[in-house]
Chains A and B, each alone.
Chain A
Amino acid sequence: MRQLVVIGNGMVGHRLVEAVLSRDTAEPWHVTVLGEEPRPAYDRVALSSYFDGAGEFDLRLPDLARHGNVELLLGEAATALDRAARTVETSTGRTLAYDALVLATGSAPFVPPVPGRDLPGCHVYRTIEDLEAITATARAAAARDDTAGVVVGGGLLGLEAANALRLLGLQPHVVEMAPWLMPRQVDEGGGAVLGRLVAETGVTCHTAAGLAGIEPDPRGGLRVLLGEEGPGQERIDAGVVVFSVGVRPRDELARAAGLEIGPRGGVAVDSACRTSDPRIYAVGECASTQGTVYGLVAPGNAMAEVAAENLAGGAAEFTGADTSTKLKLLGVDVASFGDAQGETEGALEVVLNDAPGGRYAKLVVSDDASTLLGGVLVGDASAYAGLRPLVGRALPGDPLGLIAPERGGAAAGAGVAALPDDAQVCSCNAVTKGTVTDAIAQGSTDIPALKACTRAGTSCGSCVPLLKNLLADSGIEQSKALCEHFAHSRAELVEIVTATGVATFSELIARHGTGRGCDICKPAVASILASLGGGHILEGEQAALQDTNDHFLANLQRNGTYSVVPRIPGGEITPDKLIVIGEVAREFGLYTKITGAQRIDLLGARVEQLPAVWARLVEAGFESGHAYGKALRTVKSCVGSTWCRYGVQDSVGMAIRLELRYRGLRSPHKLKSAVSGCARECAEARGKDFGVIATEHGWNLYVGGNGGFTPRHAELLAADLDDETLIRYIDRFLMFYIRTADRLQRTAAWIEQLEGGLDHLRAVVVEDSLGIAAELEEAMARHVSGYADEWRGVLEDPEKLARFVSFANAPEAPDPTISFEIERDQPVPAGPVALGMPARRGASEPAAAGTA
């Protein structure tokens, strides 16, 4: 096998290895990766989320070492290159031979040569080790009541670092030499608005400020000196100083090996990403292409793809990269794209500067005002998605109209219609408008389908509004009508029911719909009424709305029998109760199987047997497990700190508490949950709609996970919560979902289509940005206090009980079409049962034949 050595295991090095492995070549590469850091590759862009509760686990990139042709050497640096012998020396004394070599050494933070820069308490901001050191210093400072932290450098990374200090409980100061923040991305006007918005977040900004030096102060902290020595010199007493003034390419190995170096540092490469030695490539922040060193991950990834293609024998070229960016720093939207500084000859500027409103927008256009060249957006970057693809193209209208606030939405629409097919709509994944419109033509008619088909919108998500416009432009009516009987979406029906107090389906359809309903709107309305506290689901007219599962409080199986799943909260069950389940199954001749949700499924019960089965179960203390409903199913758990050597919290206790709290809660789709007692995650909580994972300090809450057809990992919503806060956040999350999701939309898809996605959800749940948290909590409190076991309710009501008969004219006669045979000592449906493929209209759900 050919030997490929990759020096550097950062994001771009990782991407390169992925790209090499994904290409089929006649002669595959054996890849050896040298990583100086002691841990596998992680998402450095998301580094500040480390202070927001994310662990190393959350940041980690996919494991490369699982691939048989990859060897990952961690904590081992390359120390020398011998180009003649084609070998690399490592810090452990190893010598690695190569046929091809890739330098992905990245860059190192630049620390200006000021006195005191090496004092304890001074840090840089690049690796997880740096973050750990900053955390330790900040904690020690807090213990001394040293509450200030200084970030040197007011660029993109500096503001990230300031946010990190804020999350550590310090009061951040940012020191920037230029007259405004983020001078590389935004112009003076944008910088002024940005400065004010940043100051509002509690960060003190010192612009046009030169760092003179740092001194130790007698209390054990640091004194940061700004400006010339003398009476005007400003001093900040701080517990921690973070340098974030820029980076320098790590080109020292290349220099020592005699490779050509770029004019401003960095290993010089050609358009194939090849260095002056044709066996050696360089990619990412250590490479210099046409004199430019890119400090962003997107160009690095593009270079990695180019190098991988050329290593595979192809002929790809890197011709420069789009450095447009859209960010949220300290909660402030900032975007810059194209020629943001107006450096093009004759360029004209159109500026909207709304200082009191905290909003700045500038478009740079060509000298004849016909072509968009670039722009800057601060405070509100919603127009970014529509404007960025227009760079270099004819303006679709009056430039001021494109950034005027009341027409921000229209801008995206006007822009996208005017775009040619080869224009990129998703720059993260290089997806063109043509690719998206082709996918739409071939049947991807909603956002999730487009994401799955084209990958557009799957990274930063800023182009999702554009995708919506493309769908609308393609004439695909994104009808929100539930079905032919209601022109409303499920969320709108929730609002109607909440606002008007309509309590029955008949009243709702008479006033707001047409006809008599169907198998789509009836269960949806039944679920809404139940979620809002409608009493027993089989009471009065509600009985006619339920599908067969809810009508018989059991799951219909393919031969017309039902399955029974008693609730076993948290999966904890006494031997006595286990015995009862066994006895019931034996007495009624039921097939038993353990479900994936830590419960027991009893299958093969005929309708007329259900009351007798449940009479036994209720008597033994069991309740409905709602396996038949669009409702909370189960809260799975591991044994947690009660038994496990590694457990840090009582996961079983929490799982039972959650399951008992949310049992019976009707929702747009089924809801699953789990609680793990430590980060090993044995309960698989991240595969659930809401998952809870114990930490040393409390609980991390993850939302939006599921298994099934499109598996998804839940994402971190909030970290290190105490018991009460955890439950409050889950209350809010679930009620917000119940009120606003579409019919049969699970939490993952719901979050995906929420305007603003997970960030918006977090704002609503954690920060109460909509001011509805109290209302959501009250709604959940009503659910909890109104809960009653549905099966007990049936057994105690002769009228409901009377419906559980096989035939109206022969209530006890078994259905003659049902028969069983024995397989592996248990009864299963006899004979072949032909289930035809359904000829369905529109989107449909699979029949809920499964278990809990």
Chain B
Amino acid sequence: MSTPTLPVSSASLWVAACGRDRLIRERGVAVLLPDAAQAALFRTHGDELYAVGNIDPFSGAAVMSRGIVGDRAGEPTVASPMLKQVFSLRTGRCLDDPDVALATYAVRVRAGVVEVCSRPGEAGV
């Protein structure tokens, strides 16, 4: 399978995902990052943006962006569509298994375009 090419320069830390209007409230999209990494980008009901790793640690499939967004006791969450484990969108931590966590990615909006930081755990500039 050919390696997909990205519409960003590899020098940039930030990857443009899509226009902010393209994001449906309480749904996610997958974002392709350099080196074939991928993030799951979500817009909550309160219009907060979160990005976490797209690969479900329990199944190894790249499906986190397709999970259901909600909350557990106020904590914004996404549930894996594969076997339904729930993860915090803020911390990436699995709320059903404290030993498991997703990477988190910083998100920002520039000129109406949502950008995801291509390096996990960094707050960006």
- A contact residues vs B (CB 8 Å cutoff): 484-485, 506, 515-519, 521-523, 541, 543-545, 547-549, 551-552, 556, 558-560, 802-803, 805-810, 813-819, 833-836, 838-841, 844, 847
Contact = CB atoms under 8 A, between A and B. Distances in A.
A816 B57 CA distance: 16
A515 B60 contact: no
Nearest to A831: B60
Contacts of B36: 816
Contacts of A802: 22
Given A808-B30, A810-B4, A819-B1, A516 B70 contact: yes
B59 interface: yes
Contacts, number: 149
Contact of A516 (B24, B45, B55, B63): B45
A847 B94 CA distance: 18
Given A506-B45, A840-B96, A809 B16 contact: yes
A518 B83 contact: no
A738 B43 CA distance: 32
Contact of B55 (A549, A817, A819): A817
A337 to B, nearest CB: 48
Contacts of B71: 485, 515-518
Interface in B32-81: 32, 36, 38, 41, 44-45, 55, 57-63, 66-74, 76-77, 79, 81
Contacts of B44: 516
A421 B100 CA distance: 45
B123 interface: no
Given A516-B71, A847-B82, 20 more contacts: A516-B69, A516-B70, A518-B70, A544-B25, A556-B82, A558-B82, A803-B24, A805-B29, A806-B32, A809-B6, A809-B7, A810-B4, A814-B4, A815-B38, A817-B61, A819-B1, A836-B57, A839-B85, A839-B96, A847-B83
A522 B70 contact: yes
A529 B31 CA distance: 31
Given A808-B41, A840-B96, A548 B85 contact: no
B70 A517 contact: yes
B84 interface: yes
A519 B69 CA distance: 7
B18 A808 contact: yes
B82 A519 contact: no
B30 A806 contact: yes
A514 to B, nearest CB: 9
Given A484-B72, A807-B38, A844 B84 contact: yes
Given A833-B59, A847-B83, A519 B25 contact: no
Given A544-B24, A556-B66, A806-B30, A835 B86 contact: no
B84 A838 contact: yes
B16 to A, nearest CB: 6
Contacts of A541: 25
Contacts of B55: 817
Contacts of B58: 835-836, 838
Contact of B61 (A521, A543, A833): A833
B58 to A, nearest CB: 4
B81 to A, nearest CB: 4
A518 B71 CA distance: 6
Contact of B81 (A518, A556, A809, A835): A556
Contacts of A551: 27, 66
B106 interface: no
Shortest 8 CB-CB contacts between residues of A and residues of B: A813-B4, A548-B81, A519-B79, A560-B61, A836-B58, A518-B70, A808-B29, A838-B83
Contacts of A809: 6-8, 15-18, 31-32
Contacts of B84: 519, 838, 840, 844, 847
B63 A560 contact: yes
A810 B24 contact: no
B104 to A, nearest CB: 18
B79 A518 contact: yes
Nearest to B46: A516
Interface in B69-122: 69-74, 76-77, 79, 81-86, 94, 96-97
B3 interface: yes
- Greatest chain B CB density within 10 A among A522, A559, A807, A840 is at A807
15 contacts: A516-B44, A518-B68, A518-B72, A522-B68, A544-B25, A547-B81, A558-B82, A559-B61, A806-B30, A808-B30, A810-B7, A816-B4, A817-B38, A835-B82, A841-B96
A839 B80 CA distance: 12
B15 to A, nearest CB: 6
B62 A815 contact: yes
B70 A523 contact: no
Contact of A543 (B5, B8, B27): B27
A653 to B, nearest CB: 39
Contacts of B67: 519, 548
Given A556-B82, A835-B59, A816 B1 contact: yes
A834 B60 contact: yes
Contacts of B68: 518-519, 522-523, 545, 547
A833 B59 CA distance: 7
B47 to A, nearest CB: 12
A516 B26 contact: yes
Contacts of A841: 96
Given A519-B68, A847-B83, A807 B30 contact: yes
A629 to B, nearest CB: 14
A808 B25 CA distance: 15
A805 to B, nearest CB: 8
A833 B57 CA distance: 11
Contacts of B85: 838-840
Given A544-B27, A807-B32, A808-B31, A834 B59 contact: yes
A813 B83 CA distance: 25
Contacts of B17: 808-809
A553 to B, nearest CB: 13
A559 B63 CA distance: 9
A803 B22 CA distance: 9
B1 A836 contact: no
Contacts of A819: 1
B106 to A, nearest CB: 16
B83 A836 contact: yes
Contacts of B6: 809-810
A807 B29 contact: yes
Contacts of A806: 30, 32
A840 B18 CA distance: 34
A548, A551, A558, A847: residue with the most chain B Cβ atoms closer than 10 Å: A548
B95 to A, nearest CB: 9
Contacts of A814: 1, 4
A541 B69 CA distance: 13
Nearest to B36: A816
Contacts of B82: 556, 558, 835, 847
Contacts of A558: 59, 61, 82
Nearest to A834: B60
A802 B22 CA distance: 9
Contacts of B4: 807, 810, 813-814, 816
A518 B86 contact: yes
B70 A515 contact: yes
A841 B24 CA distance: 28
B66 A817 contact: no
A833 B7 contact: no
A836 B25 contact: no
Contacts of B16: 809
B1 to A, nearest CB: 6
B82 to A, nearest CB: 6
A518 to B, nearest CB: 4
A425 B86 CA distance: 41
B74 to A, nearest CB: 7
Contacts of B8: 809
A552 B70 contact: no
B85 to A, nearest CB: 6
B120 to A, nearest CB: 17
